[in-house]
Chains A and B, each alone.
Chain A
Amino acid sequence: MTQYRVLPGPEHFLPPSAASMGIKLPNPGEGHIHGVIVPEEQAMEEAARQFLMARVPTIFPGPLVLWAWNEKAAKKATAVRHLYETIKECVAPQQKPMLIPMPDYRPKYPKINPEVEINPNHPNLTIWHNKIDCCMFVGVHCHQANLSLKIIRGGTNCFTIAMCAQAGHEDAMLSFRDATPEKIMRLAEWVRKLKGSVKPPEVVSKKEKSAG
């Protein structure tokens, strides 16, 4: 069994793909945390905990949920928005939840507005700009999610969660598989359940920050 763990970075400029380091994908009913396979409920609890501990917990909805392709996508969109609203309700005032879209995968050179969107080709810009320390990808096609997750692990210290509708993502620090609207709603329930039991991040004043 591999000793490699998928941890918040910055790992280095070109982190290895977690799969190449021996990290395996979960089976149905399971998830993984840092590359270790766990029951799905455990992953749910940990994801909810990470959202509640983060200064800027963020959801990045991708094209598969942003655009109303079909009924299933529309239901997922409702669930994702519900999760975001739940996080907003459950966090402390010093935390700043965000919902930032990834409308498509165009490279968008030479500019991207990191305040309003994230691009899979340079997701680190949005994460740096908004000081995001925990994020969840949902509705992003797998190949683009893998690319982004690796870049994020390479260049930021953000904790990444993948709510994948397929087989999950090794390159995320925590991954679900077979995402459905119900599963996303269940994650929202976990956030509500853990409200008050997770210590929110401390407020660091500018003075303290500059003092080091």
Chain B
Amino acid sequence: MSKERIKIAPEFFDIMPPEYQDLVTKATYGNEQRGWKDIGTSKELIEEHSLCAGCPESMAFRYILASLPNPEDTVMVGSTGCTSLVFPHVAIHNIHSLFGNQNAVASGLKRALMVRFPGRVKDVVVLAGDGATVDIGLDMTMQAWFRQEKFTTICFDNELYANTGGQESGLMQKGFVAKMAPVGKGFEKVRLPEIAREAGCHYIVNCTVSKPSLIEKVVKNAIYVARELGPTYLQLYTPCILEIGKNSMEGLQEMRDAEKPTERFAYKEYISEPAKQLLAEMAAKDKEKKAAAKQLASQGA
């Protein structure tokens, strides 16, 4: 991994728009330690965004893009929804699939990449809303998990169909009244994390995006586990402030309220035994590496 593959031809460097110049000089490609703390000090892989002011989804996008361990060799698969408005602005390969087909597309893509680039790590990450993941695309989502496809599925759960005006979704909480669901939801929120566990996912987390360090950790873990073992799933609460009647500044508080211990987005994780072992091994190696680096530094001093 390095910036070698995104060099601007020297003859054209002066005419390239500044955001591209920044991308090749100040982005964190090739930095194994990249994470959310790079935000503000390096070029982000998202060029503005077209979401509403204060949208928690935009925070989630920034944290996730900053946390991908291998951005040059990552392909994201999106679906119809607010996320599809952002993908044209990101400096990561991405595919927009038909509504609900994202996990089927990602399955084929991951397999093709494994054949085409046998010696290289290529990560595939699905990022879709709750409508695409749970309602329209549930079949494709679950079939990919059953087949043990080696990629990560991230669901931005805003508990309704936001950009079409607030229709009821499977992940909406029971009794919730939305603009286009006036009688209130009649059944419980679909328990997709539990379904994911039963369907064979090795690493599952259900949380909000209020804590960037937590998002960095779970995104990295999910991708590392997916590379080696099989499907992983993250369900992240990204409330639609417009559809739940909040102001731009209230998204963060909404997430904090929703992650309290008794609430529906209280931190919940499931890690399979092989995944636990893998993560422990990786942590041990990381510790060794850091210790060796520390020793080397002290010897140098």
- Listed in ascending order, the chain A residues whose CB lies under 8 Å from chain B are 61, 65-68, 73-74, 77-78, 80-81, 99-101, 103, 106-110, 113, 116-117
Give the residue name and chain of the B residue nearest to A107 (CB).
B88
A–B Cβ pairs within 8 angstroms, 23 of them: A66-B8, A66-B12, A67-B7, A67-B9, A68-B9, A73-B9, A77-B9, A77-B10, A77-B11, A78-B9, A78-B11, A80-B11, A81-B11, A81-B12, A99-B12, A101-B17, A103-B17, A103-B20, A106-B88, A107-B88, A116-B15, A116-B17, A117-B17
In the complex, the chain A residue whose C-beta lies closest to that of B48 is: A111
Query: B280 interface residue, CB < 8 Å from A?
Result: no
Cβ B8 vs Cβ A67 within 8 A: yes
Determine if A106 and B11 form an interchain contact, defined as CB atoms under 8 angstroms apart: no
Contact B11 A101 (CB under 8 A): no
Contact string, B82-113, partner A, CB cutoff 8 A, digits 1/0?
A: 00000011000000000000000000000000
Q: Which of these, B11, B16, B88, contacts A108 with CB under 8 Å? A: B88
Contacts of B15 in A (CB 8 A): 99-101, 116
CA distance A113 to B47 in the complex (A): 14
* Shortest distance from the beta carbon of B213 to any chain A beta carbon, whole Å: 30
Query: Is the CB–CB distance between A68 and B7 below 8 Å?
Result: yes
Find the residue from B6, B9, B50, B89 having the highest chain A CB count within 10 A: B9
The 6 closest A-B pairs by CB, nearest first: A77-B9, A81-B11, A68-B7, A106-B88, A68-B9, A77-B11
Q: Determine the distance from Cα of A113 to Cα of B10 in the docked complex, in whole angstroms.
A: 22
**Closest A residue, CB atoms, query B20:** A103
Please state if B9 and A101 are interface contacts (CB–CB under 8 Å): no
How many A-B pairs have beta carbons closer than 8 Å: the answer is 48
**Size class of the contact patch on chain B:** 10 to 19
State A108–B50 Cα separation when bound (angstroms). 10
Q: Which residue of A lies closest to B16 (CB)?
A: A101
List chain A residues, Cβ under 8 A from B50. 109-110
Chain B interface (Cβ < 8 Å from any Cβ of A): 6-12, 15-17, 20, 50, 88-89
* B2, chain A: closest CB distance, angstroms: 14
Q: Which of B8, B88, B89 is the one whose CB lies under 8 Å from A68? A: B8
Q: Among the interface residues B7, B10, B17, which one has the most CB atoms of the partner chain A within 10 A?
A: B17
- In the bound complex, residues from chain A placing their C-beta under 8 Å from that of B6 are 67
Task: Enumerate chain B residues within 8 angstroms of A67, measured Cβ to Cβ.
Answer: 6-9
Minimal beta-carbon separation of A165 from chain B (angstroms) = 15
Residues of A within 8 A of B89 (CB): 106, 108
Q: How far is the CB of A103 from chain B (nearest CB, A)?
A: 5
What separation, in Å, do the CA atoms of A110 and B11 have in the docked complex?
A: 29
Residues in B whose Cβ lies below 8 Å from that of A81: 11-12
CA distance A73 to B50 in the complex (A): 33
With both chains docked as a complex, state the minimum distance between the C-beta of A126 and any C-beta of chain B, in angstroms: 12
CB proximity of B9 to chain A, nearest CB, Å:
4
Identify 15 new A-B residue pairs, CB closer than 8 A, beyond the known A66-B12, A117-B17. Answer: A61-B12, A65-B9, A66-B9, A66-B16, A67-B9, A68-B7, A68-B8, A103-B17, A103-B20, A106-B88, A108-B88, A109-B50, A110-B50, A113-B17, A116-B17
Closest CB of chain B to A181's CB: distance in Å? 12
Residues on B with beta carbons closer than 8 Å to the beta carbon of A100: 15
How long is the Cα–Cα vector from A54 to B205 in the complex, in angstroms? 61
* Shortest distance between the CB of B168 and any CB in chain A (Å): 29
Task: Report the Cα distance A101→B8, complex, angstroms.
Answer: 11
A74: B residues at CB distance < 8 A: 9
* Contact A103 B7, beta carbon cutoff 8 Å: no
Nearest opposing residue in chain B for A98, CB measure: B15
Residue of B15, B16, B50 ringed by the most chain A CB atoms within 10 A: B15
Q: How far is the CB of A166 from chain B (nearest CB, A)?
A: 20
Q: Enumerate chain A residues within 8 angstroms of B12, measured Cβ to Cβ.
A: 61, 65-66, 77, 81, 99, 101
